Amino acid sequence: MIYDGKTIRDYIRKRDYGECAYCGDYDARFQVDHIKPLYEQKYKTTKKVDWSYWDERNLQTLCRKCHKEKTKEDVGRLAELKRNKKKVKIIEKKPLLCH
């Protein structure tokens, strides 16, 4: 599938009829959401990337209200991911003592 926002929106609209996957409310201005958030793939190399994240099965319709809630959670987890990434870097920089 070509990853084009408008095409995907049209596709998801036909699939889910604009009904929120969380609360079932219809929202004409629904958000197309990635069930497994794409940021989980953020620090991966091309070889290690899990392309199923870009699959239509990883897309869901969310009303604006639920999307906002989910984004809030995601932002928190992304911050955590960044913190962990920094930690890993520090560990890598430590000289290896036992050879």
Q: Which residues bind Zn ion (CB under 5 A)?
A: 20, 22-23, 25, 63, 66
Quick one: 53 or 62, whose CB is closer to Zn ion? Answer: 62
Element housing 62 (H / E): strand 59-62
Quick one: 59 or 63, whose CB is closer to Zn ion? Answer: 63
Q: Is 60 exposed, middle or buried (0-12, 13-18, 19+ CB in 10 A)?
A: buried
Element housing 33 (H / E): strand 31-34
The nearest distance, CB 5 to Zn ion, in angstroms, is: 20
Quick one: 12 or 63, whose CB is closer to Zn ion? Answer: 63
The nearest distance, CB 30 to Zn ion, in angstroms, is: 9
The nearest distance, CB 21 to Zn ion, in angstroms, is: 8
Quick one: 68 or 85, whose CB is closer to Zn ion? Answer: 68
Our CA angle for 37, 86, 90, nearest 5°, is 150
Cβ atoms of 63 and 23 closer than 8 Å: yes
The nearest distance, CB 59 to Zn ion, in angstroms, is: 15
